[in-house]
Amino acid sequence: MSSGIALSCVLWVVATLSPGLVRAELASPAPGPISGPTPAQIAGPILVLGDSLSAAHNLPASRGWVALLEDRLRRHAQPAPKVINASISGETSAGGRSRLPALLSEHRPALVIIELGGNDGLRGLPPAQLRENLDAMIAASREAGAKVLLIGIDVPPNYGPAYRRRFTAVFHELAEHWQVPLLPFLLDGVALNPDLMQADGIHPTAEAQPILLDSVWSVLEPLL
């Protein structure tokens, strides 16, 4: 998100292994579960298309939640899916829509995580425009054979209840229409905690990134 807009308001960035059945011989105890990485179910890269919230704004890239996601995937599944972070600070849904076709062609992702719309909201752009852009991105990802995870956001209360209601409804309506998993609010548990937000009141600190990852992971894990 552009820091100029960010200074004026606070963004509210509005999921199994079946254990093997072991037959015990007589009174011999059954072996315990085997720990370690499980076979990966995502047969290809994971593409993250987002704005500054996914681009580790003002932080080392290695501290952002997307980098932490790649680290967790290495422990969760083998072979671990590669994570491509195509997030850009200040990106709008229109910008993401324009870049996505080339990214799909280049990386051929198995999963696309879309985290866009915050800058649309901060600029007061029409929710119908956001819906059109997100819908096109989900459609393009599906057409390319990729699963989709949608990360929704919110706008500050000073934008008014009517705008805020229409804006947040876009994510829920698209998730239901396309039957894709939705994380409604990336900054849940973070946005209202000043100790977890940078001085601009918009971007989360390094200490907040593991919390963001846990929120994303709760929706992402069932897809893996």
Question: For the domain that residue 153 is a member of, what is the CATH number?
Answer: 3.40.50.1110
Query: Taking the CA of residue 165 as centre, how many other CA atoms within 13 Å lie in the half-sphere pointing to its CB?
Result: 3
Query: Exposure of 194 by Cβ count < 10 A (0-12 exposed, 13-18 middle, 19+ buried)?
Result: exposed
Neighbouring CB atoms inside 10 A of 198's CB total 17
Among residues 51, 89, 203, 215, the one annotated as catalytic is: 203
What backbone torsions phi and psi does residue 149 show, to the nearest 5 degrees? -120, 125
Name the residue range of residue 165's domain.
Answer: 46-223
Element (H, E) at 216: helix 209-220
Rounded CA separation 72/94 (Å): 31
Residue 79 resides in a domain: yes
Flag whether 39 is in a domain: no
Q: pLDDT digit string (tens) for 24-47?
A: 333 333 333 334 555 557 789 999
Report yes or no on 50 lying in a domain. yes
- 158, part of any domain: yes
Mean pLDDT of 157-177: 97
31 belongs to a structural domain: no
Active site includes 52? yes
More confident residue, 26 or 191: 191
Q: Any idea how long the chain is? A: 224
120 catalytic? Reply is no
Lowest model confidence (mean pLDDT) among 35-49, 137-151, 184-198: 35-49
Q: Which of 51, 52, 89, 107 is catalytic?
A: 52
Name 126's Cβ contacts closer than 8 Å, sequence gap at least 6.
none
Could you give the residue ranges of the DSSP H alpha helices within 51-117?
65-76, 93-107
Active-site pick, 3, 172, 188, 200: 200
What is the number of domains present in the chain? 1
Please state the pTM of the whole predicted model: 0.83
The token duo for 37 is: 């990485």
The CA distance from 121 to 117, in Å, is 6
